[in-house]
Amino acid sequence: MFVFSKGKPKTFNPIMKKNITAGSVRFSRKFRNKEGKMISSFNGEPIKEEGIENNIWVIKNGMFKSTKDLIAFNHPAIFPEELVQKHIFSWSNENDLVYDPFMGSGTTAKVSIQMKRNFFGSEISKDYYDISMERIKLIEQILI
């Protein structure tokens, strides 16, 4: 997915993951210098408990995997909820406003509400808009 920002992003919350080699010492590290050449450097510091998750995400997708909301599958191209969660977490904070111009089955709306963001959206198809409303109602019943 491409992430566009007008200027520097207002918010960036990197997704962290546990380092499986935490505590061990890395003696040699390779990195790319300004000229683009890979060079090694000595680094005797212990590896931290957590590091930033890389940007290749393996996410389950498809029937019964993208969401538990069966009604959503009446839309032909839904996003998996996990994909939306990761982006909303990365680029917004609680009470921020999330806008989805192509709401489809309402995945972004649902996840925004779950993650305590404000939300507004648009959807050209009345049928898909109705699916969104059903999903939002479901989550609001749970939250109340």
Q: Measured from the CB atom, is 124 or 143 closer to ligand SAM?
A: 124
- DSSP reduced 3-state for 141: helix
DSSP H helix total and E strand total for the chain: 3, 6
Nearer CB in complex with ligand SAM: 58/110 = 110
CA-CA distances (angstroms) from residue 69 to 80, 85, 95, 135, 136?
A: 11, 16, 25, 7, 11
Shortest approach of ligand SAM to residue 137 CB, angstroms?
A: 16
Rank residues 79 and 119 by Cβ distance to ligand SAM and give the closer one.
79
The neighbouring-strand residues paired with 30 are 40
Q: Which residues are near ligand SAM by CB under 6 A?
A: 75, 77-79, 102, 104-105, 107, 122-125, 128
- Minimum distance of ligand SAM from residue 122's CB (angstroms): 5
In the complex, minimum distance from the CB of residue 53 to ligand SAM, in angstroms, rounded to a whole number: 22
- Judge contact between 78 and 66, C-beta under 8 A: yes
Residue 98 CB, shortest distance to ligand SAM, in Å, is: 12
